[in-house]
Structure 1
Amino acid sequence: MPDLEVRIDEKRFGDAVILRDLTFSAQCGEFLALVGPSGVGKSTLLNLIAGLDPLFDGSIHWHGAPLHRHAHSPERLGMMFQEPRLMPWLSALDNVRLVLADPAAESERARTLLQEVGLGHALDAWPNQLSGGMQRRVALARAFAVDPRLLLMDEPFVSLDMPTGNRLRESLLALWQRDRPLVLFVTHDLREALALADRVLFLSEPPARIMLDYVVPLERPRNLEGTAIAKLQERLFSRHPSLLSGALEAPSVRHDT
């Protein structure tokens, strides 16, 4: 039985239908990337899975329990957004401690996570003393502080320069491979998706559904800037030229390897 089962019959905002007939399932330990055009509903989908928005037709189950009822969020849920969302009046350490059930007793976990993402020297720094990349590292440590079983990431490394982004991706993969949560990672960058994920779910244009569930055939570790990723991306585009535009090429397009 899958750990996560998602069936969105329909999600709308007013008269606009955002998601329709969108279904997929996943197991703990998997890393899934969600790719699709801007405004297609990727962030909306994450909010539904997080239990933040119960207003849709369908069902979402986590370990067999429904998340589609009001105020039902998964236990041990981690989230990371496009912006770090740090509390400016708290130090880096206290921003991580903030999500812990017992900050005093679990303080060492927060320290260890910040050290693991390369911020052991900046535990007492205020957010405005940290660069954008360093703030994202604090947010990454905070996302893993709850020892998540489900981790939702909404374009967490967008707008970063390549070296900074690569360091964060390496930190993310190291933490994920150690703790093995189920990760749902939204990105517009197909190379990033292919470098990080076990599976890439391509969303169609609105009303969005999964038009391709692609199993990444490359072994780890992978180099985002390497030739293997470039060749795989080229092969995907040769088979499915309209993938990133969200244009459905055929009703039968569902799975690929």
Structure 2
Amino acid sequence: MALMSGLRIAIREKRFDGEAVLGEIEITAAPGEFIALVGPSGAGKSTLLSLVAGLDAHYDGAITWDSAPLSRPGQSPEHMGMMFQEPRLMPWLTALDNVRLVEAERAARESGFESRAAALLDEVGLEAAHQVWPNQLSGGMQRRVALARAFVNEPRLLLMDEPFVSLDMPTGNRLRRSLLALCERQRPLVLFVTHDLREALAMADRVLFMGDAPARVLLDHPVDTPRGRDLESVDVAAAQQSLLARHPQLLSGILGADANQDENNEEQA
């Protein structure tokens, strides 16, 4: 069945300095889906996010939402949120003002606009930190500010580039729970880059594995368990073990000659 609404990525090629870094990539995703992108360093995951974000328009292909171009040249899409590996907070602004900063353009555009920044900071557990400066916040608290900022404009599309990397397990799990709670309420389409297969299997509806040179999607793997499982749970460990038993070199960006057929046979069984 054709995708009636949502995101379609159709890349024929992306080059840097004359070298092809992305090959043919075809991805369709519906509003509300949570899609994880997994693969080794250099597999093109962050490059692909940059194209979707409208930060790089120099590629051969098209990226559309509901059959219309997702972004105009030189402009990021409207109603898009982003979260990076680093929080990227303005050090001269309080936590609340860092979140409000993203609201400014929308407030100018919409009459009767009501700020959501304070409520979102409360929702991610920063009720007492509205007026705190970024350098007074722990790394995990800074990520929570960044998470609130990513949702303040009620994005229909949320791009996340390893947002919880290097965090300890309890802090990372708290942020993952906050993210999934916000996703459940706002229902954005999420593209989530991670190197951690357990994280992908615990959170996503589908996991897209990238590899080869130039990079492409090697495997589109549906996750048949509910979102939000603990990364250290038996179910996540079993899902990871099963997947890597079928495709031992998958995390190195290598699928294997018969892997697609094996995956198709299992889905039909």
TM-score range, shorter chain: over 0.9
Distance 2:159 2:208 in 1: 14
State yes or no: 1:85 paired with 2:92: no
Aligned to 1:177: 184
In 2, are the aligned partners of 1:82 and 1:157 still within 8 Å (CA)?
yes
Q: CA deviation at 1:204?
A: 1.3
Q: CA deviation at 1:74?
A: 2.0
Distance 1:180 1:136 in 2: 20
State yes or no: 1:231 paired with 2:238: yes
Q: Indicate the percent of aligned positions where both proteins have the same amino acid.
A: 63
Aligned to 2:139: 132
Relative distance call for 1:107 and 1:118 in structure 2 (3 A) is: farther
Matches within 5 A, 1:154-173: 154-173=161-180
SS at 1:122 equivalent? coil
Q: 194, 201, 212: which one pairs with 2:201?
A: 194
- State the TM-score, normalizing by the size of structure 2: 0.91
Distance 2:213 2:49 in 1: 16
Q: 3, 7, 27: which one pairs with 2:30?
A: 27
Distance 2:117 2:220 in 1: 36
Q: CA deviation at 1:106?
A: 5.2
Aligned to 1:95: 98
Q: CA deviation at 1:205?
A: 2.6
Q: 37, 40, 44: which one pairs with 2:43?
A: 40
Aligned to 1:146: 153
Distance 1:44 1:93 in 2: 31
Q: Deviations over 1:148-177 (max 9, x none)?
A: 000000000001111100000000000001
State yes or no: 1:70 paired with 2:77: no
Relative distance call for 1:105 and 1:163 in structure 2 (3 A) is: farther
- State the TM-score, normalizing by the size of structure 1: 0.95
In 2, are the aligned partners of 1:54 and 1:68 still within 8 Å (CA)?
no
State yes or no: 1:49 paired with 2:52: yes
In 1, are the aligned partners of 2:247 and 2:259 still within 8 Å (CA)?
no
Q: CA deviation at 1:15?
A: 2.7
Gaps of 5+ in 1: none
Q: CA deviation at 1:67?
A: 3.4
In 1, are the aligned partners of 2:204 and 2:227 still within 8 Å (CA)?
no
User: Displaced runs of 4+ in structure 1, greater than 4 A?
Assistant: 103-108, 254-257
CA RMSD, 1 decimal: 1.8
SS at 1:33 equivalent? strand
Q: Deviations over 1:101-145 (max 9, x none)?
A: 228965641000000000010000000000000000000000000
State yes or no: 1:210 paired with 2:235: no
SS at 1:158 equivalent? coil
Distance 1:94 1:242 in 2: 45
Relative distance call for 1:166 and 1:106 in structure 2 (3 A) is: farther
Gaps of 5+ in 2: none
SS at 1:234 equivalent? helix
Would you say how many aligned residue pairs link Structure 1 and Structure 2? Answer: 257
